[in-house]
Every structure is written in structure tokens, then in C-alpha cells.
Amino acid sequence: MGIAKGKRALIVGVANDKSLAWQIAQELHSQGAEIALTYQGEALEKRVRPLAAQIEADVVGELDVTNDSQIEAVFANLKQKWGGLDMLAHAVAFAEREDLRDRFLNVSRVNFSRSLEISAYSLVALARAAEPLMEVRGGGSVVALSYIGAVRAVPNYNVMGVAKAALEACVRYLAIDLGPKNIRVNAISAGPARTLSSSAISGFHTMVHEVEQRSPLRRGMKTEEAGKMAAAILSDLASGVTGQTIYADVGYSIVGF
């Protein structure tokens, strides 16, 4: 009997087998949950469908989080298939490559807005769509992925740090709005992980080395550790936890000098 036995979970943001979203999907599956995945575009669909087959997950449609009609279609599909939803994992973020290499000062108005729309507003849009499906199940749980760059100025993280700060604020305000429906909303601030998105950050390997040298555990975060923490927070084991950003970063966030 796993901690997610009998639960139904939608995971948004799986890009390949290195994705933290994929770690969450695997862990929830191992803990007994039924899993649904989405994809963005034909190229990612070719990666997501074989992964879905590994955990007997349903691919419930294409989902570009800037497209309201696609959001509506995915959740209509979930309603038809399951009737309700217990868990939602948000692992979506975006910044233009040049904005993760140039000075933050130089980010354009267009790129700034796009980063915040995809990385932060998307949580609001997905939570709004999930609310009625979770309500019929008596409540639910939402988790989003963040990073320490939301609260500290990390070299080259730039506009993504601003977007993650907005995401963490969205978590708190959504927790207030959805709490009366017994829906919890939290964020996990994971350590730096070698994923498709992190490859765009200039100096990423330096970030990983810094964590390995200075964290209390003297190592980097294992990607499966983020998946396990997400599963725990999404599950009823964390029934009294909402509106929080939980650090799963091998302790690096506590270190001063």
C-alpha cells in the first residue's frame, strides 16, 4: 500500500527521462497512483509516449500552457476519464537562452513577460482548471517546482529567478484561495539538476560544483530525491502543509559562508 494508492495525478512538464517531472511521475506510480501526462508539441510527444508506457500512464493531450483551449481540453479529457483529480504537479518553466547568459538588466519586455507567463501564471491557470475536479474528490494537492534563485541572486539565472519568485508568491495566494476546498498548494525548491532546461544556463556546472562542495551533505541533489519529496508533499502524509516552499537541496539553502 503506497502513500498514493487510489490517487489520480496529472504531471505537467515531462520533457524526457532526465526531467524532474518524470522523477515525480515514477515515484507517484511506484506509490500506487494512476498517472496522466501531457506533452508540448510533436517532438516532445515522441519522447513522452514511450515514458508513459513504462508506468502505464495515460497521455491526455497536447498542452501548451499559454493556450487556454488546450488547458480546457486536457482537463475535459481528465473529467471524462477519471471524473476527478487528486494531484497536480507543475514542472513548467521557460526563459530565452540569451536571457540566461546576458545581464539581467538587458532582458526585453517581451521576454520578461513570456517567462513569467509560462513559468508562473501557468500554475494559476492549471490550478483554476483543476479546482472543480479536485473538489469532487473531496480535495487535492498541487506542487510546483522552484529553485533557490527565487530568493537569492544566482549568477546567470536572471529572469528565471524573478519568474520563480513569482511562482512561489502564486503558491501562497493559491493556497489561500483553494484551502477552503481542502486543496493544498506547495512548492519544492530543488537543488540544481542536469535537465534539458538547465543546460541553457551559462555556468550551470559551476552551480552544481558549488553545491557539492558547500552543502551540509557534501554532494549534489539526486533527481529522484526531488521526486520522492514531491510525492510526499502531494500525498496525505502532508495533509497539514500548504502555502509552503520546501527545500530539497541537500541543505545548501542553509549555508552562509
Q: For residue range 51-63, what is the model confidence (pLDDT) as tens digits?
A: 999 999 999 999 9
Residue 229 lies in a domain: yes
Question: Band of the pLDDT at 201, cuts 50, 70, 90?
Answer: low
Please determine, for residue 219, whether its predicted confidence score (pLDDT) is greater than 60. Answer: yes
Residue 99 lies in a domain: yes
Question: Band of the pLDDT at 210, cuts 50, 70, 90?
Answer: confident
pLDDT at 212: 87
Please determine, for residue 23, whether its predicted confidence score (pLDDT) is greater than 70. Answer: yes
Residue 170 lies in a domain: yes
Answer for the pair 141, 89: CB distance below 8 angstroms, yes or no. Answer: no
pLDDT at 234: 98
Question: Band of the pLDDT at 33, cuts 50, 70, 90?
Answer: very high
Percentage of the chain with pLDDT > 90? 87
Report how far residue 119's alpha carbon sits from residue 228's, in angstroms, rounded to the nearest whole number: 22
Residue 254 lies in a domain: no
Q: Could you report the per-residue pLDDT of 90-110, keeping only the tens digit for each?
A: 999 999 999 998 999 999 999
- Across the chain, mean pLDDT equals 94
- Length of the chain measured in residues: 257
Please determine, for residue 244, whether its predicted confidence score (pLDDT) is greater than 90. Answer: yes
pLDDT at 100: 92
Q: Which domain holds residue 151?
A: 8-249
Please determine, for residue 194, whether its predicted confidence score (pLDDT) is greater than 90. Answer: no
| Catalytically active residues, by annotation | 147, 157
Question: Band of the pLDDT at 204, cuts 50, 70, 90?
Answer: low
pLDDT at 79: 98
pLDDT at 163: 98
pLDDT at 208: 74
pLDDT at 103: 94
Question: Band of the pLDDT at 199, cuts 50, 70, 90?
Answer: low
Residue 1 lies in a domain: no
Question: Band of the pLDDT at 11, cuts 50, 70, 90?
Answer: very high
Residue 173 lies in a domain: yes
pLDDT at 59: 97
Report how far residue 14's alpha carbon sits from residue 223's, in angstroms, rounded to the nearest whole number: 13
Residue 255 lies in a domain: no
β-pair partners for 223: none
Question: Band of the pLDDT at 203, cuts 50, 70, 90?
Answer: low
pLDDT at 46: 96
Report how far residue 3's alpha carbon sits from residue 125's, in angstroms, rounded to the nearest whole number: 27
Number of domains in the chain: 1
pLDDT at 200: 54
Residue 2 lies in a domain: no
The residue-averaged pLDDT of 217-238 equals: 95
Assign residue 230 the CATH number of its domain.
3.40.50.720
Poorest-pLDDT segment among 29-33, 84-88, 134-138, 155-159: 155-159
Report how far residue 87's alpha carbon sits from residue 200's, in angstroms, rounded to the nearest whole number: 29
